[in-house]
């Protein structure tokens, strides 16, 4: 057995389950420090090594101590929870009677637990949250309103709901908030993104980390371990691997790894905020994206100073910051009340989303040729995203969207679909289709072009029984891929019947 020469009841030592991180908990200072395994040899203990016939006093490093049997380094499951007891505690699973030792490295959990058990406020409806913010946390309210500059209260309430999940459920969220510039001239610098980051770091002390354009893609990502908020600062859309980001935020668990150590598979509790001054999404986030809320902070540079600090805080940033810090406990009590469902970007369109895609969706200038929608995958995908956006704004019906998506993806084109696509392109001046162009001319040229791209003309004539009546669907002048098999055509016919029945029902 190995014991310390001079035990200190105020200092406790813990090791995580794969022996990769040493945690030292100073109870009096309410502070936890951590050391990675690569630095274990730098930390030594004055110990007594109790042997059968002798007690040897000597110095040993962390590796030696944890490899031997000691009574001062406890193995724990490390968590970062705003809802559990802070520091070291044990829980017994009622069904298995297994005891698990935990170390909760978040040492301000008492504030959240008090807010949940004895809240300072009550509200009769969700909208009253905004009034509470104004009255009880005016500095924080002004910061948020400057960041959610063009948004209505419903979007700000959704952000409070988002913070509630982070603070009161210990769950991760796959939706993200993206604070971005509007134009090259109006990047929104100085709107308060950095201040928000600092505020959240104080509220969730130790549970907030920052990643960069490079670090979020790397294998050695220990900074993500047990973090409730991950802030992606100065995001660069040109290099962004958005699919990788969605994989990380969408997973229930996350693999964290330190160089030279075995990886840990741990619960993923991180919710992400994205900050950038760029205005161009570079097609990384589509109009029908389900994950990312686009938010435009106040677009005038230094707006926080000009519109908030100067008129309300005598131009003194430190005074503004002190007021904000004094409101943190009230703010935690307010977000405790924000228990509404966090809506997705499809359920709640931000004004920033609408303005960004309304600026781009009615032009699609990079689709310069009508034929490209049918022959180039990138142009087709962009046009389909555009159709989805039209449907979300009810500019086309859901049935129209389903039909055009199906035929474009299946590459089977009845005459009526070609005419519908042409009509939309003409209405929004896509693919070089102006108001003066005749559909029959453009569609004939398209068919000739498709003939050179592996398509052929096809006349469809199929019948089926619907509600005990025989129905016949006959489409002349269709276009399909050459050498379409009978089985493939049967599947197409089946879907065409489905669309036909939808029309009858409508």
pLDDT in tens, 378-399: 889 889 988 887 887 778 888 8
Confidence tier at 25 by pLDDT (50, 70, 90): very high
The answer, yes or no, to whether residue 409 has pLDDT greater than 70, is yes
Q: What pLDDT score was predicted for residue 303? A: 93
The answer, yes or no, to whether residue 362 has pLDDT greater than 50, is no
d(CA 461, CA 294): 47
Q: What pLDDT score was predicted for residue 428? A: 80
Q: Give me the residues paired with residue 73 across strands.
A: 13
Which residue, among 490, 492, 481, has the nearest Cα to 457 in the 3D structure?
481
Q: Which pair of structure tokens corresponds to residue 196? A: 């928000």
The answer, yes or no, to whether residue 253 has pLDDT greater than 80, is yes
Q: Give me the percent of the chain exceeding a pLDDT of 90.
A: 54
> Stretch 303-312: mean pLDDT, rounded?
94
Give backbone dihedrals phi and psi of 182, rounded to 5 degrees, phi first: -105, -40
> Stretch 141-157: mean pLDDT, rounded?
95
The answer, yes or no, to whether residue 159 has pLDDT greater than 90, is yes
DSSP 160-213: HHHHHHHHHT----S-EEEE--SSSS---TTSSHHHHHHHHHHHTTTSEEEE-T
Q: What pTM, to 2 d.p., does this model score? A: 0.70
Please count the CA atoms within 13 angstroms of the CA of 29 that sit on its side-chain side: 8
d(CA 299, CA 271): 25
d(CA 470, CA 199): 68
Give backbone dihedrals phi and psi of 18, rounded to 5 degrees, phi first: -105, 20
Whole-number Cα distances in Å, 466 to 186, 473, 491, 492, 505: 58, 12, 18, 18, 11
Q: Which pair of structure tokens corresponds to residue 482? A: 């050459």
The answer, yes or no, to whether residue 359 has pLDDT greater than 80, is no
Query: Which of 71-80, 419-428, 496-505 is least confident?
Result: 496-505
Q: What pLDDT score was predicted for residue 119? A: 94
For 113-351, which CATH class?
alpha beta
Say if CB 320 and CB 140 are below 8 A apart: no
Please report, for the chain, the start and end positions of each structural domain, with discontinuous segments joined by +: 2-107, 113-351, 362-505
Q: What pLDDT score was predicted for residue 192? A: 92
Q: What pLDDT score was predicted for residue 361? A: 47
Phi and psi based region of residue 260 (left: phi greater than 0; alpha: psi -120 to 50; beta: remaining): left
Whole-number Cα distances in Å, 357 to 38, 88, 155, 351, 382: 48, 50, 18, 10, 12
Say if CB 11 and CB 26 are below 8 A apart: yes
Q: What pLDDT score was predicted for residue 170? A: 84
Q: Give me the percent of the chain exceeding a pLDDT of 70.
A: 95
Q: Give me the residues paired with residue 456 across strands.
A: 480
Q: What is the pLDDT of residues 184-239, one digit of tens each?
A: 666 668 899 999 999 999 999 888 988 888 777 666 677 888 899 999 988 989 88
Residue with tokens 């040897």: 56
Q: What pLDDT score was predicted for residue 294? A: 94
> Stretch 55-62: mean pLDDT, rounded?
93
Whole-number Cα distances in Å, 442 to 361, 362, 370, 406, 418: 22, 20, 8, 22, 10
d(CA 146, CA 156): 11
The answer, yes or no, to whether residue 120 has pLDDT greater than 90, is yes
Q: What pLDDT score was predicted for residue 364? A: 60
> Stretch 345-360: mean pLDDT, rounded?
81
């Amino acid at each position: 057995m190995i014991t310390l020469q001079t035990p200190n009841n105020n200092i406790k030592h813990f090791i995580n389950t794969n022996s990769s991180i040493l945690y030292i908990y100073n109870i009096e200072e309410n502070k936890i420090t951590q050391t990675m395994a690569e630095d274990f040899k730098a930390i030594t203990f004055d110990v007594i090594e109790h042997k059968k016939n002798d007690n040897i006093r000597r110095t040993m490093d962390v590796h030696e101590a944890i490899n031997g049997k000691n009574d001062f380094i406890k193995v724990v499951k490390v968590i970062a929870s705003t809802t559990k007891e802070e520091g070291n505690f044990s829980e017994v699973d009622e069904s298995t009677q297994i005891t698990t030792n935990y170390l909760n490295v978040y040492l301000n959990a008492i504030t959240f637990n008090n807010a949940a058990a004895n809240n300072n406020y009550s509200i009769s409806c969700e909208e009253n949250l905004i009034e509470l913010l104004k009255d009880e946390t005016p500095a924080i309210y002004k910061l948020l309103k400057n960041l959610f500059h063009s948004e209505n209260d419903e979007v700000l309430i959704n952000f409070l709901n988002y913070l509630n999940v982070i603070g009161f459920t210990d769950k991760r969220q796959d939706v993200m908030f993206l604070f971005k510039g509007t134009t090259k001239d109006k990047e929104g610098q100085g709107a308060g993104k950095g201040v928000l980051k600092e505020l959240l770091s104080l509220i969730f002390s130790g549970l907030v980390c920052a990643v960069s354009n490079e670090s979020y893609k790397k294998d050695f990502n220990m900074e993500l371990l047990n973090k409730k908020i991950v802030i992606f600062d100065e995001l660069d859309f040109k290099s962004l691997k958005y699919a990788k980001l969605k994989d990380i935020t969408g997973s229930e668990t996350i693999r964290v790894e330190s160089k030279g150590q075995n990886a840990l598979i741990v619960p993923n509790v991180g919710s992400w905020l994205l900050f950038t001054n760029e205005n161009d999404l570079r097609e990384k986030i589509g109009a029908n994206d389900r994950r990312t809320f686009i938010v435009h902070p106040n677009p005038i540079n230094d707006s926080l100073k000009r519109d908030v600090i100067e008129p309300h805080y005598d131009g003194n940033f430190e005074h503004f910051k002190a007021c904000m810090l004094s409101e943190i406990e009230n703010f935690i009590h307010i977000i405790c009340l924000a228990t509404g469902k966090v809506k997705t970007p499809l359920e709640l369109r931000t004004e920033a989303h609408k303005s960004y895609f309304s600026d781009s969706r009615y032009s699609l200038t990079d689709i310069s040729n009508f034929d490209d929608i049918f022959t180039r995958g990138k142009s087709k995908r962009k046009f389909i995203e555009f159709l989805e956006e039209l449907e979300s704004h009810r500019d086309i019906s859901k049935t129209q969207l389903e039909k055009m998506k199906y035929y474009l993806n299946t590459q089977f084109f009845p005459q009526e679909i070609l005419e519908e696509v042409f009509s939309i392109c003409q209405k929004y001046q896509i693919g070089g289709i102006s108001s003066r162009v005749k559909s029959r001319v453009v569609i004939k040229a398209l068919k000739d072009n498709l003939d050179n791209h592996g398509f052929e003309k096809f006349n469809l004539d199929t019948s089926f029984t619907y509600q005990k009546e025989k129905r016949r669907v006959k489409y002349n002048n269709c276009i399909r891929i050459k050498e379409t098999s009978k089985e493939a055509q049967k599947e197409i016919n089946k879907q065409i019947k489905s669309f036909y029945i939808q029309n009858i029902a409508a």
